[in-house]
Amino acid sequence: MLEVHELRKSFAGFVAVGGISLTVATRQIAAVIGPNGAGKSTFFNLITGHIRPDGGRIVLDGRDITGVSPHRICRMGVGHSFQRANIFARLSVFENLQASLLAHRGRGRNFWSRSENLYRDETEALLAAIGLEGQADTVAGTLSYGNQKQLELGIALASEPALLLLDEPTAGMSATETHETMRLLQRIAEERGLTLIFTEHDMEVVFSIAEKIAVLHQGRLLAEGSPAEVRRDPEVRRVYLGEQR
Amino acid sequence: MSASFLFSQFMGGLTTAMFLFLIASGLSLVFGVMRIVNFAHGSFYMFGAYLAWQAMQWLHPSAERFWPAALFAALAVALLGALVERLLLRHLYGLDELYQLLLTYALVLILGDAAKFIWGTGQLSVSTPPLLAGSIKIFGTTQPLYNLFILLIGPVIAFGGWLTLNRTGPGRLVRAAAYDREMLDALGADVGTLYTGMFAVASFLAGLSGALVTPIESIVPGMDVLIIVQAFIVVVIGGMGSLWGTFWGSVIYGQVLSFGILVFPSFSLFSVYALMGVILIVRPWGLFGRPL
Amino acid sequence: MARRSSTLAGRIPWTLIVFLAACTVPWLGSRYDTFLAAQIAIDALFAVSLNLLLGTTGLVSFGHVAYFGVGAYVCGILMKTYGMPFAVAFPAAGIGAGAFALISGFFCVRLTKLYFAMLTLAFSQIAWAIAYKWNAVTGGDQGLPEIPYPNLDWMGSIPGLGDLSEGARFYLLTLVLVAVSLAVMRHIIRSPFGRMLTTIRDNPERAAFIGLNVRAYQLAAFVVAGAFAGLAGALYGIFSRGVFADYVFWSKSAEVIIMAILGGMNYFWGPPVGALALVWLNQEITDYTQYWPFVLGSLLLVLLFVFPGGIVGGLVAGFRLARRRLVGRDA
């Protein structure tokens, strides 16, 4: 599904991503972990087109998407759930999802219909899938943090992605919420045949769900493989010995 | 077109540039650090001029009343600026920039009419201070001493500003605030006072510029709007937030104005906006600004 | 935007009432009243076109008057210099203004926030300078006086309108054209296209990542807004019997922004209410004092600090509060 070759990005001399090569198979659930500042968010932003790489290639399903603009990458089936809830604050939850569906189905050029009447059923379904039925009319900016993250996920799913990138989906959540969210993600990924790549700090979550783990450290790939392999890797143990969890 | 004529135009362009630099530097400073575009900056300039004139009326017609009058005007405008920041502007930080812009625009309207109310709608003028009343001949042209004085002041202030920003404690704070206000706050620096102070300094420069222009130009209603538009163009050319950018932007603008009029008589009106437009299209951050 | 309300207030067809009331002005009021009402209607259209950018897409344009001016000049030149009928000149004004918006907008939308605003201002002042100097086409600083009224004899055959003056007939035509334009804009804002614009307003980064080419949408909004501003300008040129360069001066851009915010930029009917309020206030105040800028500036201050939601915003908040008190729970 996704192949990354020697991806590089520096910001004013600071090497954020220094030559990462990675492969994620279709329908695989992969986790990208590493201490803060390891380059995980930059890595995601490079894949989704928000930042242009200085070097390297990104290949999605056989197509080279290096340097393609974000909206085109989204249309190719890549979804991105941001670390900080990135929603449409002044619209209601329902409108957030509806707008995302409208955009995905290419209705943005429609000048003549009433937007509130379109895709109501699909929006309801999506609402139910992410568990926010009761909040349909709440203004998104007033939601609790956890609910905003759920909405975040809903918006990403509305674009019917084949590949879903989740930047710290459980940041700031309690242990129970984290557990529920990851269960939800796993279920949705299976139902829709998604390929998932997520970053996480909670090692328990990572090791319980991920089929493949990539460890980043200071912009470089430290280790890559199944959870068992990564757990045994001496480099990883060295880097993480001080890590609190 | 003789050499002395060209030299005259050149000097005229430089003089215009230095006045503009004094005002535009304040505008650029406020934008660079506080991210505010202060439309009322031109109104501060106008008030500096009016207040200088007023102070001259109050003082004994002694030989050198111009200098205290100019200083008084600059200080009074600095105080006005500090009050505006503290009482009005402060409450709009964090809101959409549009509100801050509208606030400063409202001030333009209010201050403009206030000046008309206090000083009427006629032209006022101030005579050149006796100390600098003469002129000298350079390259076959007559250059008023006062203009030469202005040409000195510009670079002095530019250099002084650069020194302050780069070599003093408060200057470093200002530069830090331009990069990251929240971080500075977290480090315990009193960002509120810093902002008020900077706004006051910028207003001082505007008021000073207005006061110093009075021997050369008459004081009229509408001078606030005329100057602010030009200050904007200068800051765009040089790059918002860059002191040297503003300096060189002023110089370039002054020369374009001076020589452009020779090439096309109706040049000035169209060309300065075209220049601003071209810069914004091709290189929005100006000559010396930070790329967006 | 407001949903269909189930309350009594929501079911009264306010806009129809206002429209019909406006139609009665030539009979019930003086010529001057008709003049004012026409001004309000045209300003309302202009302000709503600006709000398509400001309130719906989140684009702050300081140069919207440029398109108003282009429309005024296109219509005026076609009708006066070339003797074309209104039916041709009016749409041409919209197309011309839209074309100028396409060209200038292409450059403007590449910039953000303040730089966007400044480039719109630059284009607007360039337009003004051209209008001021291009004597051959625009009449330069003399402008284009004596724009003819369109041929409205056909209105004489409509019962009740036979004995109206030309000016009054044009006023009614203006009302109809403004009403239709507003209806079209309302429809556009409520369409999926409009919905995409609000997502761009709220979060341009996210909007790109639901698959929207943000710049293309912003440009489209810019062109639509410019075209309708051009239509407003065309009407203004005829109604004022002349087109002059100072129609394109930036102070009118500031004025229309104030109208939008005064009325409330978060509501479709905010800008028209703001236009009504501002024109009326201007009338009243300038009767008493020459210090209208002072009053306007003070009004703006009050708005910014006390009623940022504008008149309509304040009314909506007031109604909600009143309803809650009456009904006793969240409405």
Structure tokens belonging to residue B161: 């500003």
Query: In chain B, what residues touch C126 (CB-CB under 8 Å)?
Result: 270, 273-274, 277
Closest among B173, B167, B230 to B198, alpha carbons compared: B173
- CB count, 10 Å around CB of B257? 22
pLDDT at C328: 65
Q: What is the DSSP string of C268-286?
A: TTHHHHHHHHHHHHHHHHH
Nearest-Cα distance to chain C for B281, in Å, is 6
DSSP secondary structure code for residue A110 in this structure: -
Those residues with Cβ within 8 angstroms of residue B284's Cβ, 6 or more apart along the chain or in another chain: B292, C111, C115
Residue, of C157 and B157, whose pLDDT is higher? B157
Planar angle of CA B149, B150, B156, nearest 5 degrees: 90
DSSP letters for A67-105:
T--HHHHHHTTEEEE-SS----TTSBHHHHHHHHHHHHT
pLDDT value of position C251: 84
Check whether C181 has a pLDDT greater than 70. yes
Contact B31, B235 (CB under 8 A): yes
Between A101 and C327, the more confident residue is A101
Best mutation site among B110, B116, B261 for testing chain C: the one with the most C CBs within 10 Å? B110
E strand spans, chain C:
144-145, 242-243
Q: Is the CB of C211 less than 8 angstroms away from the CB of A107?
A: no
Q: Is the predicted pLDDT of residue B153 greater than 90, yes or no?
A: no
- Among A226-235, C14-23, C64-73, the minimum mean pLDDT is found in A226-235
What CA–CA distance (Å, rounded) separates B70 from B75?
A: 9
| C45, two tokens | 């259209």
Cα C127–chain centre separation:
19
| Residue in B91, B101, B277 closest to C305 by CB | B91
Share of chain A above pLDDT 70, in %: 98
Q: What does the pLDDT look like over B1-20, one tens digit per residue?
A: 677 888 888 888 898 899 89
Phi, psi of A24, rounded to the nearest 5 degrees:
-125, 125
pLDDT at residue B268, rounded to an integer: 66
Q: For residue C134, is pLDDT > 90?
A: no
- The answer to whether chain A touches chain B by having 3 or more C-beta pairs less than 8 angstroms apart is no
* pLDDT the model gives residue C215: 94
Shortest Cα distance from B89 to chain C (angstroms)?
Answer: 10
Whole-number pLDDT of residue C331: 46
Q: How many angstroms separate the CA atoms of A117 and C89, rounded?
A: 37
**Does residue B66 register a pLDDT over 50?**
yes
- In three-state secondary structure terms, C139 is coil
Beta bridge partners of A192: none
- CA–CA gap between residue C44 and residue B151 (Å, rounded): 50
Strand intervals (E) in chain A: 2-11, 14-24, 29-33, 55-60, 63-64, 78-81, 163-166, 195-199, 212-217, 220-225
Mean pLDDT of chain C: 88
What percentage of chain B has pLDDT greater than the value 90? 26
Task: Express each pLDDT in C96-109 by its tens digit.
Answer: 999 999 999 999 99
**pLDDT score for C2:** 46
pLDDT tens-digit map of C228-273: 999 999 999 998 888 888 888 888 898 999 999 999 999 999 999 9
Is there a contact between B228 and B39 (Cβ–Cβ < 8 Å)? yes
Residues of chain B found within 8 Å of residue C261, distances taken between Cβ atoms: 102
Tell how strand B135-138 and strand B141-144 pair up: antiparallel
pLDDT of residue A236: 76
Contact between chains at A159 and C210 (C-beta distance less than 8 A) = yes
Query: Residue A207 has which token pair?
Result: 């090791």
pLDDT at residue B269, rounded to an integer: 66
pLDDT range class, residue B35, cuts 50, 70, 90? confident
Using a CB-CB cut-off of 8 Å, the residues of chain A touching C201 are 90
- Residue A194 CA to residue A184 CA, distance in Å, equals 13
Nearest residue in chain A measured CA to CA from C189: A111
Report how far residue C17's alpha carbon sits from residue C61's, in angstroms, rounded to the nearest whole number.
Answer: 32
- Predicted local distance difference test score (pLDDT) of residue A244: 47
User: Residue B125: left (phi > 0), alpha (psi -120 to 50), or beta?
Assistant: beta
Residue of C nearest to A48 (CA): C209
To the nearest whole angstrom, how far is the Cα of C182 from the nearest Cα of chain A? 14
**Given an 8 Å threshold on Cβ–Cβ distance, is C205 in contact with A86?**
yes
Strands lying side by side in the sheet with A63-64: A14-24, A2-11, A55-60, A63-64
pLDDT band at A242; cut points 50, 70, 90: low
* Nearest-by-CA chain C residue for B265: C133
**Band of pLDDT at residue C219, cut at 50, 70 and 90:** very high
Quote the minimal CA–CA distance from B81 to chain C in Å. Answer: 16
A138 SS3 class: coil
Identify which of A74, A90, A110 has the shortest CB distance to residue C192.
Answer: A110
Amino acid code (one letter) for B69: A
Give the number of other CB atoms < 10 A from CB of residue A242. Answer: 7
Chain C partners within 8 Å of B236 (Cβ): 118
Q: Please give the average per-residue pLDDT across A217-245, as a whole number.
A: 75
pTM of this structure: 0.88
| pLDDT attached to residue C6 | 53
Q: How far A206 CA lies from chain C's nearest CA (Å)?
A: 26
Please give the span between the terminal C-alpha atoms of chain B, in angstroms, as a whole number: 42
User: Would you call C300 and B91 a contact, using CB atoms and an 8 Å cutoff?
Assistant: no
Minimum CA–CA partner of C291 in chain B: B113
Q: What was the pLDDT predicted at C329? A: 56
Tell me what the mean pLDDT of segment C88-116 comes to.
93
Q: What is the mean pLDDT of residues B67-77?
A: 93
Choose from A33-47, A81-95, B230-244, C208-222 the range with maximum mean pLDDT: C208-222
Q: What is the DSSP string of chain B?
A: --HHHHHHHHHHHHHHHHHHHHHHHHHHHHHHHH----TTHHHHHHHHHHHHHHHHHHS---TTTHHHHHHHHHHHHHHHHHHIIIIIGGGGTTS-HHHHHHHHHHHHHHHHHHHHHHH-SS-B--PPPGGG--EEEETTEEEEHHHHHHHHHHHHHHHHHHHHHHHSHHHHHHHHHHH-HHHHHHTT--HHHHHHHHHHHHHHHHHHHHHHHTTTS-B-TTHHHHHHHHHHHHHHHH-TT-HHHHHHHHHHHHHHHHHHHHH-TTHHHHHHHHHHHHHHHH-TTTTTS---
Radius of gyration in angstroms for the set of CA atoms belonging to chain C, rounded to a whole number? 20
Write out pLDDT tens, residues A31-71: 888 877 777 888 888 888 888 888 888 888 888 888 888 88
Contact criterion met (CB < 8 Å) for A87 and C203 = yes
**Over pLDDT 70: what percentage of chain C?**
95
Asked if C31 is an interface residue toward chain A (Cβ–Cβ < 8 A), one would say no
For residue C3, pLDDT over 70 is answered with no
A8-22, B126-140, C5-19, C153-167: range with lowest mean pLDDT: C5-19
Instruction: Grade residue C1 by pLDDT with cuts at 50, 70 and 90.
Output: very low
Q: Give the model confidence (pLDDT) of C55-83 as tens digits.
A: 999 999 999 999 999 999 999 999 888 88
| pLDDT, tens only, B74-85 | 999 999 999 999
Specify the pLDDT at position A8. Answer: 81
Higher pLDDT, B74 or A202: B74
> Which residues lie closer than 8 Å to A245 by C-beta, 6 or more apart?
A201, A202, A203, A204
The two three-digit tokens of residue C1, written as one number: 């935007």
Instruction: Write out the DSSP string of C199-251.
Output: HHHH-HHHHHTTT--HHHHHHHHHHHHHHHHHHHHHHHHHHTTEE-GGGGSHH
Contact C251/A at CB under 8 A: no
pLDDT digits (tens, 9 = 90+) for A61-112: 888 888 888 888 888 888 888 878 789 989 999 999 999 999 888 888 888 8
Q: Do chains C and A touch (3 or more CB pairs under 8 A)?
A: yes
Measured CB to CB, residues of chain A less than 8 Å from chain C are: 48, 50, 69-71, 74-75, 80, 82, 86-91, 95, 98-100, 102-104, 107-116, 118, 155, 158-159
Give the closest residue to A88 by CA, choosing from B221, C179, C210, C322: C210
Name A62's Cβ contacts closer than 8 Å, sequence gap at least 6: none
Per the CB < 8 A criterion, the answer to whether C131 and C100 are in contact is no
Report, as an integer, the average pLDDT of B62-71: 84
> CA-based angle B282:C121:B251, to the nearest 5?
60
User: Does residue A198 register a pLDDT over 50?
Assistant: yes
